[in-house]
Chains A and B, each alone.
With several copies, the nearest count.
Chain A
Amino acid sequence: MNEFKFDLCRLPQETKALRDEVRAFLAEHLRDYPPSLRAYTWTGYDREFSRKVGSRGWIGMTWPRQYGGGERSAFERYVVLEEMLAAGAPVGAHWVGDRQSGPLLLRFGTEAQRRNLIPRICRGEITFCIGMSEPDSGSDLASIRARATKAEGGFRLSGTKLWTSGAHSCDFMIGLFRTDPDAPDRHAGLSQFIVDLRTPGITIRPIRDLAGDEHFCEVIFEDALVPADALVGQEGEGWNQVIAELAFERSGPERYLSCHPLLVELLRAMPGDADDGAAAAIGRQVAHLATLRTMSLAVAGLLEAGRNPLMEACVVKDLGGVFEQAMPAFAQSLLDLEPRFDAGASEYQRALALLVQIAPSFSLRGGTREILRIIIARGLGLR
């Protein structure tokens, strides 16, 4: 059996000044940003805000300077990220670019792709979405059917991507398409493309969610022609590139801070004479929060040290997901206030209303909880 190994990791002393800078920035730019919007955390979308963040050098912080990056440490990036998330800042417009698309291009992209796109990501100018899921493939990505067919001038894309977060407000999609329909293995024959979403033949339909927001999209490709250099990495290597990309996704502070603004507002709303039971309940949340942060930092440290803490990242994601998903019910167990978003609702109630509705989705993001646990079980040596 593989024992999971979390080497503790403290943030270097130098990060203190950076943290103060970020806090000052947030205090200035989010002065009037209400808790009910902070509750959206990394799904909050504000291009203007992202440009400001970019101008401070807080996007692509660890990337090479030659592409506009900051060549700063993973810990400095971690500090910026966790401050943004804890404050519920609207980081959605640069979220995917900073977290997934940029690293992907740096790793698998051509020099031209990097020169063209990375600096603009760093400035917070361009926004990305990820086109993986399809109507008939949820967790089972290998069943993807959207196709890219070689054609005069590049590739023609056809098919439908579903649940693409934020596509209606993005500039580019990193999409997974089947380039070789005859590949013997379902995982083979897939390739990744950078798709300019203004390309003719692409229709984007936002999908309203249960809370009334439009966040998911359906993206329909009807023989949309993309140039040959839209291909990212090797043709047919899409699956392996995606797997590498998913690993970036697993254990950041976004894995346990999605409901943090609610915890903050709950503390604000608590009566002064909270009884012992309520104090213990809050203390328990704090203990779990602190532990998750230590675990997540440990994984960041292992990554920075060049190790590959895949299983540890899965464990953080699993525990963090359970933690943040339970937060709305926890809040309701302490305060008998109705979750609502109509005219008379308080900011606490609005934040609660949003999270009551969307928290159940937290165990679906980036693979369901069941699948995550099966991966962990395999890491334990069970199969």
Chain B
Amino acid sequence: MLEETITRLFGEKVTHDLLRSAETGTWPADLWRELEENGLTRTLVPEALGGAASGWGEAFVILRAAGRHAAPLPLAETLLASWLLAAAGIEAPAGPLTVLADPVPEGALSGNRPGDRLTHRAGRVPWGASAGHAVFTTARGGRTHVGLVETKGAVAARGENLAREPRDELAFDRAGVIALGATALPANVVRLLGAMIRSAQMAGALGGLLTQSVRYAGERVQFGRPIGKFQAIQQELARLAGEAAASGVAAESAFAAAERAAPEPGVWIRDADPTFEIAAAKVRAGDAAEIAPGIAHQVHGAIGFTYEHALHFSTRRLWSWRGEFGTGNEWARLLGRRALALGADGLWPDLTSRG
């Protein structure tokens, strides 16, 4: 149901023209409004705070679809930001939101109550200039606090990733903190869940590559028959299908782990730490992002390299997202250090204890 709704919505609205204009800096206001009206920007917010009170499983479906369609707006960031706010009991302001990937150092805040001031510089903030508000975390007295600031006046420099999605530099200079609240969340929660939302978007983009490539291989005729009939092409498309499927499973598994760790905002069950599944999902998607775009481009031939064709909206996002909220290397190091610490006799019991 949800999947159908969102797929229909993105399918209709995220047109080629929309994607092109978004890449020149135009905010897709209609699409955003549509998402808001369907309650899709607040799915992770409890009803008490005006949200849909859905879980991470629904968020996965939404974000995978957003990734598949390359939806050019900060839906993933907004879902995460509003969830973080809800965890601190803060009502999310209207409009798109973004997050600061790393905790703000203690000294950056002048106090610990609303009305206090934030002085801090953060780079590569997704959609920093388009989002009205940014959500940040900071450690206070051993607890992770979540805070909310306006981005107005804080945009120091515009930037973009390879997919021409905004990645801006925000410089807060005694910016008023609208709200600040304590949570039970881990200190690296934004980077952790950030990696998770990117893994869902990547899984979606990989599925999109597969769909586009299979369709093209069935249509494009060379040497008198569709190229999809050539064994060499079939072998490659089968590999692409495997990469897409594995990334999808790994990402969904990460969201399921997040659902177990955080069945509702504000709750964080330490014994159900989802770091393993999230790291695995980001690593798996990163590896797929190394293989799959090459296959899709190889199948498409020259046309796939033109800006006019839609393929690059997916491949450039994969090349960008694989590095965001931690590269595959970084998350793999974490998994590897963990495995080395568990040792020969600990690896398998640990893996199977997870489900």
Binding site for B on A (CB under 8 A): 1, 3-4, 6, 8, 10-11, 19, 82-83, 86, 133, 136-140, 162-163, 207-210, 212, 216, 260, 263-265, 267-268, 270, 274, 276, 278-284, 286-295, 298, 312, 315, 318-319, 325, 329, 332-333, 336, 338-344, 353, 356-358, 360-361, 363-364, 368-370, 372-374, 376-377, 379-383
Contacts and interface: CB of A to CB of B under 8 A. Distances in A.
Interface stretch (B97-105, B146-154, B189-197, B246-254): B246-254
Contacts of A372: 238
B237 A382 contact: yes
Given A292-B246, A370-B230, 14 more contacts: A3-B207, A3-B211, A140-B222, A276-B333, A282-B339, A287-B283, A287-B284, A288-B287, A290-B351, A291-B249, A291-B284, A340-B167, A360-B298, A364-B297
B306 A208 contact: yes
A319 B333 contact: no
Interface of B: 123-124, 157-162, 167, 169, 207, 210-211, 214-215, 217-218, 220-223, 228-235, 237-239, 241-242, 244-246, 248-250, 252-253, 256, 276-277, 279-281, 283-284, 287, 290, 293-294, 297-298, 301-302, 305-308, 311-312, 315-316, 319-320, 323-324, 327-340, 343-345, 347-348, 351-352, 354-355
A11 B354 CA distance: 10
Contact of A344 (B169, B231, B352): B169
A325 B222 CA distance: 24
**Contact residues of B: prevailing secondary structure:** helix
B157 A343 contact: yes
Contact of B237 (A8, A336, A339, A377): A377
Contact of B245 (A210, A281, A312, A358): A312
Given A1-B211, A290-B351, A294-B250, A8 B256 contact: yes
B336 A286 contact: yes
A190 B297 CA distance: 30
B313 to A, nearest CB: 9
Nearest to A139: B222
Given A283-B279, A360-B293, A382 B218 contact: yes
B340 A282 contact: yes
Contacts of B169: 344
Given A283-B337, A295-B245, A344-B159, A361 B297 contact: yes
**Contact residues of A: prevailing secondary structure:** helix
B238 A373 contact: yes
A256 to B, nearest CB: 11
Contacts of A216: 302, 305-306
Contact of B234 (A3, A333, A374): A374
A210 B307 contact: yes
A283 B335 contact: yes
Contacts of B333: 276, 279-280, 283
B235 A377 contact: yes
Nearest to B337: A279
B302 A339 contact: no
Contacts of B305: 209-210, 216, 358, 360-361
A263 B306 contact: no
A265 B320 CA distance: 20
A144 to B, nearest CB: 13
A283 B235 contact: no
8 contacts: A4-B241, A274-B336, A287-B250, A332-B327, A338-B320, A368-B298, A380-B237, A382-B229
Nearest to B343: A267
Nearest to B295: A360
A381 B218 contact: yes
Contacts of B256: 8, 10
Given A294-B249, A380-B214, A380-B241, A280 B329 contact: yes
Given A209-B307, A279-B333, A283-B279, A368 B241 contact: no
Going nearest first, the 4 A-B pairs with the smallest beta carbon separation are A283-B336, A283-B335, A279-B336, A283-B332
A326 B281 CA distance: 20
A195 to B, nearest CB: 21
A137 B329 CA distance: 41
Contacts of A358: 305
B245 A290 contact: no
Nearest to A23: B349
Given A276-B333, A279-B333, A376-B238, A340 B221 contact: no
A3 B213 CA distance: 13
A1 B306 contact: no
A342 B167 contact: yes
A377 B231 CA distance: 9
Given A208-B308, A284-B283, A373 B234 contact: yes
Contact of A373 (B239, B297, B307, B328): B239
Contact of B228 (A138, A342, A382): A382
A8 B281 CA distance: 14
